[in-house]
Amino acid sequence: MSWEKEVDELRRREALAQEMGGQEGIDRQRARGKLTVRERIVGLGDAGSFREFMGLTGDAVYRDDTLESFTPKPSVEGMLNLDGRKVVVSASDFTVRGGSAGSKGGLGQELPSNRRAQEWRIPYVRLLDAAGGSVRSFEEIGRTYLPDGNVWSAVDVELLSEVPVVSALLGSVAGLPAINACFAHFNLMLKDKSHLFPGGPPVVKAALGYDITKEELGGDKIHVSKSGAIDNLAVDEEDAFRQVRQFLSYLPSNVYEMAPRGATDDVVERADEWLLEAVPQNPRQVYDPKKIIASIVDAGSFFEIAPLYGRARVTGLARLNGYPVGIMANNPRQKGGSTDVAAGNKVIRLIQLCNTFHLPLISFADEPGFMVGLESELQGIERAGARLVAMTTQSWMPWLTIVLGKLYGVAGQCQHRPSGMFRRYAWPSANWGSMHIAGGASAAYRREIEAADDPEAKREEIEARLQALASPFRTAEATGQDIIDPRETRRLACEFAEDAQRVLRTQLGPPKIPYIP
């Protein structure tokens, strides 16, 4: 006896799920310039690789035991391949109740997508376009409920110390999905189309009594540049999918594996002549640290993270002779390269990422110190600095610092680590100390300067005397600090990245300190 009738019913239900929220909802989605959830999955993954799970879940209406209509759940979940590697994807379907979770639940539930990523030990990708909870669910269940969502949020937190997690905001994201957006090692949003907030404009109006637009409350100009809640900005959905794939390409599938080495035809011995003049002789002139990074890492491999936030630091991922590495650099074009609260937060996240997924960290240091001034004090620079010191000293991945220019104070101290595999080289352009000689001389020799017949001349005399002591070669004579020709930097950095692999293999497994977003 054949089961053909039941298989036909299966195909019918699968077809109903493919209709998502119906043609009207699909038309609204496209009118907003957005792809449907299933178009997004096709755009993200390798062709034909998607394997859906829980695809028959939804709200069904029966008449005389015959299925009359079916509305699928407001998300599509499954496994797919990204450049040949398997990941779990959970994608919101805004055409079904605005992506709001429904009231389904009970005994016998299959594993949700985050638990599958955890059990399979593969990366987890969220495609978010969801409004979070809805009061409509109260009518569905006939009551309200005590919030207890942390039963699943606990898994999302655990995931961060186990597998790479990415969140792509492809529309308006509110409620719990807004928190899930930040339960990620990397997240992004669409220019002029994505929004992020715990509660949207109607909630703000009810709670605080004022009107505000979605863009003013949680658009990309808020979160990519100012709050730092979102790392990167994508110009469209295709660009978003490209960035997701590129970010994951540097990372292993889980903390128990080594990061994949990529192919490269860039010569290790490449020595760009222009590096001899990359750092200007005139300390008042600035330079572009991204150009220096591009000259050292494998050609075209640098992927910047959070380029519009905390711009006094540049952070990202790259490759050296094919090996994935974390990259950070002071940016003298922004606040002179001084580490402010936002820049410190970027560095802490990068250190955590490298610790968790076993990547060497390469730092290009030109550090004037922690940012001073009233605004910095109001933001809590001391506590932020303490967090950076703590994260630096507790880190364990191999770390290479290249001192390009200044290295001052406690912020400069955060470019060095007292234990583990650590190496530091300095360019001849480097200079260092507890603080800048100019400001430090005015403070340390204040009485002598004020008592002089010509205070300005006396200050210049003292500064000249101190500057004579600032040569990096004098430090090398006393401490053994290695000073290198800038053109040698790529070769030495590639050598460090390769040597780091044997240390990293001994560090596989969950991080000593859980990843905190």
Per-residue model confidence as pLDDT tens for the chain (517 residues) = 899 988 988 998 889 888 888 898 898 999 899 999 999 999 999 999 999 999 888 888 888 888 888 888 889 999 999 999 999 999 999 988 776 765 555 556 788 999 999 999 999 999 999 876 666 666 666 777 777 767 778 999 999 999 999 999 999 999 889 999 999 999 999 999 999 999 999 889 899 999 999 999 999 999 999 999 999 999 999 999 999 999 999 999 999 999 999 999 999 999 999 999 999 998 889 999 999 999 999 999 999 999 999 999 999 999 999 999 999 999 999 999 999 999 999 999 999 999 999 999 999 999 999 999 999 999 999 999 999 999 999 999 999 999 999 999 899 999 999 899 999 999 999 988 755 555 555 566 677 777 777 777 777 666 666 666 667 888 888 888 999 999 999 999 999 999 999 999 999 999 999 999 9
pTM for the model stands at: 0.91
Question: In this predicted structure, what is the pLDDT of residue 474?
Answer: 84
Residues 6+ apart with CB under 8 A from 513: 355, 394
**Taking a C-beta distance cutoff of 8 angstroms, is the pair 37, 76 a contact?**
yes
Say what the pLDDT of residue 147 is.
Answer: 73
Q: Which of 77, 176, 171, 58 is nearest to 126 (CA)?
A: 77
Taking only Cα atoms into account, the Rg of the chain, rounded to an integer number of angstroms, comes to 27
- Measured distance CA(102)–CA(468) in Å, rounded: 71
CATH code of 273-427+484-505, in short, is 3.90.226.10
Residue type at 488 in one-letter notation: E
What crossing angle do the helices spanning 289-296 and 489-505 adopt, rounded to 10°?
70
Q: What pLDDT is attached to residue 59? A: 85
pLDDT at 387: 96
Q: Amino acid letter at 320?
A: L
Query: Are the beta carbons of 120 and 111 closer than 8 angstroms?
Result: no
As a whole number of angstroms, the distance between CA 286 and CA 47 comes to 46
pLDDT at residue 438, rounded to an integer: 57
Phi, psi of 52 (to 5 degrees): -75, 145
pLDDT at 441: 54
d(CA 240, CA 189): 8
CB 420 within 8 A of CB 399: yes
Query: Where do you find CATH 3.90.226.10 in the chain?
Result: 4-249, 273-427+484-505
| Single-letter amino acid code for the residue at 23 | Q
Question: Could you tell me how far CA 474 lies from the centroid of its own chain?
Answer: 39
**Per-residue pLDDT at 70:** 83
Q: Which CATH superfamily is domain 4-249 in?
A: 2-enoyl-CoA Hydratase; Chain A, domain 1 (3.90.226.10)
